[in-house]
């Protein structure tokens, strides 16, 4: 069987960085002649792809169980299809290395976070040598954006501005797996964004482990704010988002850039982790609750409609009842629109793993439930306050699991709230909004975790604005096979990493 006829299936666990890395893995495999199994008609897909790639996460304790459970499910398929190749990459591969092949000897390739570009060659080598290939690099050699990419969406895209992390949070294993921060040159980032817009993308999310410390490598602490402003000058780019910033590096110039750049959306994900100053110190989070609340206050002063989300860890070693009450206090004062809440789990290799006073599981569970209940209450109040507002929603695919049974479509408001909206009952098929289009609707109900906008059924607001993003989505549907998943074609990578070379310029940095 030739490589051109082989299919692949990339399965992603973890953060947005992993999602974008998986787009690169898909681009590499497409360039090497493989075909996305999901792009084929259902009756041509076979029982399993020829190559299955797991792009893994190592942040939570259950990541190990999830990976080995999935690998176990593939073992009988491997026995039935000896030519099936299984590859494991990402943070878990970087951490566990040879352990993966020892625990799952039917795995063919293990590769790390620093060498995702090696995947096609490693697959070929494993096939030729008839033995597992494990290749883990300790440092990044080329910035991942130099690699070909096959994006998941025609109208929305990720752009990495940095990789790695210079912080030493005691609960986090990411710096050990992703390495020190490496920043891309501003001009290369903007060139990539412009290329995405030229392909029909109307929304771009800037990615980095600590996105707002961008510029540290080339000595410009204001570089991120300049980059946001420069994105505002890109014709056709309607929405700019970013994730995730670090409170310690969050400066007022970034707030100003958000407030003064129309296409930078009024949404901010600001990880709190704990409201207790004592716990924050033990976590090596270089800010305290007063500074965090000050940032929230300044953001809301400059951007009143901003929706702020967060991450919180419950049950960090040594956390007392008083510490947890401090977290509840900060959550009440912050009024987050939503929160990703986690029960602390030991990650081997982190300083927190060997700390004394590990909190009993039953105590952690009880605190976790109290925190979730409080945040749900706050989220619901915030969503009820949206009732009666008119919002422009970017129509999306796959956001509403019940859209078919409720006869609604779904998308995201400017502040990133999820909106399920109804269509007028007599709307002709040709006038239906497409994924990537913008729809103006009125919010009729604020549910705890989403908004409902049935204004079109009640004689209220409803207007469709066709966009180039919707055109790009529609063009893909025309080309795809029935029942297949249609994705944009492979785009070439863009170099490179390191401090920018000196160039003569007459304008400010980042074109701002």
Residue stretches of the annotated binding site for [4Fe-4S] cluster? 15, 57, 91, 165, 169, 172
CB 399 within 8 A of CB 413: no
Q: Do 53 and 25 contact (CB within 8 A), yes or no? A: yes
DSSP reduced 3-state for 304: coil
How far apart (Å, rounded) are the C-alpha atoms in residues 49 and 109? 15
In the numeric block, which tokens belong to residue 508? 């400010």
Rounded to whole angstroms, the Cα distance separating 399 from 417 reads: 11
The binding site consists of 15, 57, 91, 165, 169, 172
The strand pair at 203-207 and 451-453 is best described as unpaired
Instruction: Identify whether the C-beta of residue 91 lies closer than 8 Å to the C-beta of residue 67.
Output: no
Check if the beta carbon of residue 290 is closer than 8 Å to that of residue 245.
no
Phi-psi region of 2 (alpha: psi -120 to 50; beta: other; left: phi over 0): beta
Closest CA to 395 of 192, 202, 266: 202
Give dist(CA 355, CA 353) in Å, integer.
6
SS3 letters for 19-37? HHHHHHHHHHHHHCCCEEH
Please give the backbone phi and psi of residue 7, each rounded to the nearest 5 degrees, phi first: -110, 160
Q: Which position has the token pair 């990880």?
A: 271
User: What's the order of all strands across the beta sheet hosting 267-269?
Assistant: 267-269, 307-314, 338-343
Distance of CA 83 to the CA centre of its chain: 33
Taking the C-alpha atoms of residue 32 and residue 5, their distance in angstroms, rounded to an integer, is 11
Gyration radius of the chain's alpha carbons: 23
Mention every residue, 6+ apart, whose C-beta is less than 8 A from residue 182.
140, 143, 162, 163, 164, 217, 497, 498
Write a three-state SS string for 447-476.
Answer: CCCCEEECHHHCCCCEEEECCHHHHHHHHH
């Amino acid at each position: 069987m030739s490589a051109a006829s082989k299919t692949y299936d990339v399965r992603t666990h973890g953060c947005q960085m992993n999602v974008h890395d998986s787009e690169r893995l898909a681009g590499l495999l497409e360039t090497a002649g493989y075909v996305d199994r999901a792009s084929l008609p259902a009756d041509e897909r076979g029982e399993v792809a020829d190559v299955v790639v797991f792009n893994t996460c190592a942040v939570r304790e259950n990541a190990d169980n999830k990976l080995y459970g999935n690998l176990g499910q593939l073992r009988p398929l491997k026995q039935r299809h000896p030519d099936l190749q299984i590859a494991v990459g990402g943070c878990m591969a970087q951490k566990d290395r040879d352990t993966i092949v020892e625990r799952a000897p039917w795995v063919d390739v293990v590769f790390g976070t620093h060498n995702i570009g090696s995947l096609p060659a490693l697959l070929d080598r494993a096939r030729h040598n008839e033995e597992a290939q494990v290749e883990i690099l300790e440092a990044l050699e080329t910035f991942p954006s130099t690699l070909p990419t096959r994006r998941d969406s025609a109208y929305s895209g990720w752009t990495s501005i940095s990789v790695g992390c210079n912080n030493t949070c005691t609960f986090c294993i990411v710096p050990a797996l992703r390495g020190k921060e490496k920043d891309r040159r501003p001009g290369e980032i903007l060139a990539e964004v412009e290329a995405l817009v030229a392909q029909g993308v109307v929304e771009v999310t800037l990615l980095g482990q600590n996105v707002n410390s961008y510029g540290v490598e080339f000595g410009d602490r204001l570089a991120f704010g300049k980059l946001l402003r420069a994105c505002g000058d890109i014709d056709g780019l309607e929405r700019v988002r970013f994730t995730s910033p670090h409170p310690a590096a969050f400066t007022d110039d970034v707030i100003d850039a958000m407030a003064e750049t129309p296409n930078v959306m009024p949404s901010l994900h600001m990880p709190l982790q704990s409201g207790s100053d004592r716990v924050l110190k033990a976590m090596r989070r270089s800010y305290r609750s007063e500074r965090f609340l000050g940032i929230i206050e300044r953001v809301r002063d400059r951007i009143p409609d901003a929706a702020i989300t967060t991450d919180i860890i419950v049950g960090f070693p040594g956390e007392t009842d008083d510490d947890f009450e401090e977290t509840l206090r900060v959550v009440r004062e912050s009024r987050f629109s939503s929160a990703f809440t986690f029960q602390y789990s030991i990650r081997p290799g982190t300083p927190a793993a060997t700390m004394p006073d590990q909190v009993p599981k039953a105590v952690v569970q009880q605190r976790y439930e109290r925190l979730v209940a409080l945040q749900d209450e706050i989220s619901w109040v915030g969503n009820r306050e949206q009732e009666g507002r008119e919002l422009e929603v970017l129509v999306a695919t796959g956001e509403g699991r019940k859209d078919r049974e409720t006869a609604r479509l779904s998308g995201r408001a400017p502040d990133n709230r999820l909106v399920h909206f109804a269509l007028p009952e007599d709307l002709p098929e040709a006038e239906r909004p497409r994924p990537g289009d913008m729809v103006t609707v009125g919010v009729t109900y604020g549910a705890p975790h989403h908004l409902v906008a049935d204004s079109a059924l009640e004689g209220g607001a409803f207007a469709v604005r066709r966009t180039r993003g919707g055109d790009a989505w529609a063009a893909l549907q025309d080309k795809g096979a029935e029942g297949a998943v249609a994705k944009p074609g492979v785009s070439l990578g863009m170099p490179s990493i390191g401090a920018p070379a000196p160039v003569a310029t007459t304008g400010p940095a980042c074109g701002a």
